[in-house]
Amino acid sequence: MSLTLDFLLPPPPASYKVDQPFVTHASVSGTTDRLLEPVGQHFLAHARRKRHNRTFSEDEMHQAKEKASQVVDEEKVDFEYEHVDISTVNQDPTQWKTQDNYAVLGLTKLRYRANEEQIKKAHRRMVLLHHPDKKADKNDDAFFKCIAKAYDTLMNPVTRRQYDSVDFGMTLEDEDVPTAKSRGDFYKLWQPVFERESRFSNKQPVPLLGDENSTKEEVENFYDFWYNFDSWRSFEWLDKEGAEGADNRDDKRYQEKKNRAQRAQLKKEDNARLRTLVDVCLSVDPRIAIFKAEEKKRRNAKKDAKAAAEKAAAEEKAHQLEEERLAKEKAEQEAKEASANAKKDKEAIKRVIKKEKKLIKNLIKENKYGLAEEPNADAMDIQLLKLDDLLAKNKTAEGLETLRKEFEQALKDGKLVDVFAEKTA
């Protein structure tokens, strides 16, 4: 069977000539030198073996051990098991759209903060607990299907983002959001609210509410950010399923149109809710009143500064001579007091030195002049001369006080003779 195609061939290029067997339309480019570098997993394996001087079998064994250690590390995921009362969660797999996926897997404490490893571990536990093979009726797999659907939803980045957008277990409208009449610490009341809302921001990081020490610029940036909040909440999860189940293409389009309209309305309502929340926070923010008062003060500062400058100049002129006189008298008085104090200090030091010397001499005299046996007159003179030399070396009050304390301690320890001999050697 022959087939005839009715179409025209494109025209030949301008350089084409019928009488020529061929036409050169382009020339071959010149040769170039290129550096070829070894890459790929096989080269990396070769380099690893060379670096560690391993054979093929040794390297394979080492890699197997590393993989085994990684498996052990995965089992150490930071995760706290939660008891799941299945009577309080969805058990009908046909109602998967409205089920709390985090509650089904036992992740109500973590929710959107749960990472991939924690979701895997929670799913593994729920599968082991509720597998149909462990039930008397092995055909009863309804809740098991709910577990599988929750896992599939949360492990898929797209569907998880859609679900987190309308998380039934953490609906922001039901949170304990403060009002303008709420009492308590402003920062403790409102900071958790914005922390919850910040997870929906396309722009990261999100500025914090701050505290009473925040600058005006930081506060203005905070409210500017939230009044222009760019949310990724899309509300696709709430789409009606009729668009997929309908056979008629027009019905599908109609349902898709309704879904888009619903998303737009929900987005609009959520933006209005967030704006109202920010309005209330701004109206009760104690820093705003402070900034307004400071701004008013700055506006009047120029006028007040001129009057204050004139008044200060007059007062300065009136008191200048008086201040100079008082300063002179004060300087003279301080000089006299300094001289008197220096004299008193000198006399006090002399008295302390005299007292310490007397205490040390009495201590030595009362304890056999620092000898082990009762001394005679010559021995006493020798000991006193040694003591005088020792006291002459320690001329300061601090040195004499230290020496006295050492002799007193030596007397308590029964070593006065040795210490005296050591000091006077």
Number of structural domains (the chain) is 3
Residue at 12 is within a domain: no
* CATH number, position 117: 1.10.287.110
* 364-385 residue pLDDT tens: 878 877 787 888 888 787 888 8
Is residue 1 scored above 70 in pLDDT? no
Question: 154: domain range?
Answer: 86-170
Based on the number of CB atoms within 10 Å of its own CB, is 326 exposed (0-12), middle (13-18) or buried (19 or more)? exposed
Mean pLDDT taken over the chain: 82
Same-domain check for residues 188 and 116: no
Same-domain check for residues 181 and 241: yes
On whether the pTM is more than 0.85, the answer is: no
The domain boundary, picked from 273, 293, 313, lies at 293
The domain boundary, picked from 293, 317, 335, lies at 293
Phi, psi of 298 (to 5 degrees): -70, -35
Q: Which amino acid is at 57?
A: S
Residue holding tokens 């004139």? Answer: 310
- The answer to whether 150 and 105 have CB atoms below 8 angstroms apart is yes
Same-domain check for residues 310 and 416: yes
Q: How far are the Cα atoms of 68, 114, 147, 288 from residue 78, in angstroms, in the given order?
A: 19, 10, 21, 42
Residue at 29 is within a domain: no
Residue at 407 is within a domain: yes
Residue at 238 is within a domain: yes
**Mean pLDDT on 36-59:** 80
Residue at 243 is within a domain: yes
Residue at 326 is within a domain: yes
More confident residue, 280 or 16: 280
Same-domain check for residues 407 and 343: yes
Contacts of 177 (CB under 8 A, 6+ apart): 193, 277
Based on the number of CB atoms within 10 Å of its own CB, is 421 exposed (0-12), middle (13-18) or buried (19 or more)? middle
CA 277 to chain centroid: 26
Residue at 10 is within a domain: no
Cα separation, 279 vs 265, in Å, equals 21
**Mean pLDDT on 44-69:** 76
The domain boundary, picked from 128, 152, 170, lies at 170
* 113-137 residue pLDDT tens: 899 999 999 999 998 888 888 777 7
User: Which of 64-68, 138-142, 145-149, 230-234 has the least mean pLDDT?
Assistant: 64-68
| pLDDT in the model for residue 75 | 41
Omega into 205 within 30° of 0, i.e. cis?
A: yes
| pLDDT in the model for residue 30 | 74
Residue at 37 is within a domain: no
Is residue 77 scored above 70 in pLDDT? no
| pLDDT in the model for residue 24 | 63
